[in-house]
Amino acid sequence: MALLEYENLSIALPGMARPVLDGIDLTVSAGEIVALVGESGSGKSVTARSALGLFPTGADIDGHVRVDGTEVVGAGPAALRSIRTGTASMIFQDPRAGINPVRRIGDFLTESLRVNNGWDKGRANARAAELLAAVGLPAPERHLRQYPYELSGGMLQRVMIAGALTTGPRLLLCDEPTTALDVSTQAEIMAILGRLQRERDLGMLLITHDIELAAAVCDRIYVMYAGRIVETAPTAQLFETPRHPYTAGLLGSSPPLQAPDGPPARLTPIPGSPMGLLDSAPGCSFAARCRLARPGVCDRTAPRLERHDEALVACHLAEESLTSIDNIATREGS
């Protein structure tokens, strides 16, 4: 049984032309790191928050979200509290917005332990100091007495990771955990997350717009566009043979983490802009931006996820895309 499972999850908001999420299927198993990638506005953060029952206000929800076998959609306060305080934790993308600026770091880290676990102050502080040391902060006892403004962005993100681990979760939801950090600090944060995931055998869902970053740490990748999963595959296969033009576009517009042996390839941006919630399309949601779109096919019927080798791809031209994408990349890189 998967530790985290989305089954045909759809979320719609009143007055919007299309759903925020449209039939999402996604799984994360214990000990596995799975990435959900896509441009801003594709629905990634809503997907992650749904695992904790944090649905948009007034949303119409259909489908299922299960965390360690417990249904989240329609769950009562007791079930949600059990998930949030024992099974799953979330690392949000902006640590300065996630930590109360007028309370000390120690208060932030020990509150859950004291309220939910009933620990006394001394035991909770000892656990908090242990976690700060585990995420690479020196002199943890001193940091417990500090306020958020006294720490850098990278240090605060380490505090956020420590806070997510206080109750010993089995599932870690990471919502753009390195967005506001410089490149070297991003690498340090991802190294910490990877080490903790291996040591604790955590299931991890990594939300990111950086497909190269996802490839460096993840076992499988889901690619999301306009609230739909358009491709998913093991990481190595996704990079070697992307079948959806959007996946190829993300790869072509992202600089590699490691410098190539030869001359660097030209980055090729995806034309146009992502589809907003006030926009809709009867066919493939990516058709208007796709270099391979076929009139009368792609703009009329929405493609379904279908299996191609180890990948699932939602594209009418998935078989043709392999050759066509390679030809486009060769022509534009020359």
Report the half-sphere exposure of 168 (CA within 13 A, side-chain side). 5
Task: Read off the pTM.
Answer: 0.91
Measured distance CA(250)–CA(44) in Å, rounded: 15
Q: Measured between alpha carbons, how far apart are the two ends of the chain, in Å?
A: 47
- Beta bridge partners, 67, equal 4, 70
Tell me if 289 sits within 8 A of 299, measured CB to CB: no
**Residue 96 banded pLDDT, cuts 50, 70, 90:** confident
Rounded to an integer, what distance in angstroms lies between the CA atom of residue 104 and that of residue 117? 20
Of the listed ranges 23-27, 45-49, 116-120, the least confidently predicted one is 116-120
pLDDT reading at 240 higher than 50 = yes
Q: If you average pLDDT over every residue of the chain, what do you get? A: 90
Give the domain ranges of the chain: 4-99+170-333
pLDDT digit string (tens) for 247-300? 999 998 887 766 556 666 678 889 999 999 999 889 999 999 998 999 999 999
pLDDT tier at 184, thresholds 50, 70, 90: confident
Band (pLDDT 50/70/90 cuts) for residue 94 is: confident
Question: Rounded mean pLDDT of 54-60?
Answer: 96
State mean pLDDT over 225-250.
Answer: 94
The residues, ordered by sequence, that sit 6+ positions from 306 with a Cβ below 8 Å of its Cβ are: 312, 313, 314, 318
Taking residues 128-145, report their average pLDDT. 94
204: β partners: 33, 172
265 vs 149 pLDDT, higher one: 149
Per-residue pLDDT, 263? 66
Give every strand in the sheet of 33-37, ordered side by side: 88-91, 171-175, 203-208, 33-37, 220-225, 228-234, 311-313, 306-308
Query: What pLDDT shows up at residue 330?
Result: 47
For the chain, what is the radius of gyration of the CA atoms? 21
CA atoms of 158 and 5, how far apart (whole Å):
27
pLDDT at position 324 is 59
- Residue 273 corresponds to which tokens in the numbers above? 């802009």
Supply the pLDDT for residue 331.
46
Is the distance from CB of 232 to CB of 249 less than 8 angstroms? no
Contacts of 10 (CB under 8 A, 6+ apart): 19, 21, 22, 23, 24, 61, 62, 63
The domain 4-99+170-333 having CATH identifier 3.40.50.300: the answer here is: yes
Asked if 256 and 216 count as a contact pair (C-beta separation under 8 A), the reply is no
pLDDT tens digit string along 207-232?
998 888 888 899 999 999 999 999 99
**How far apart are the C-alpha atoms of 136 and 127, rounded to whole Å?**
15
Question: pLDDT at position 98, please?
Answer: 84
pLDDT of residue 334: 44
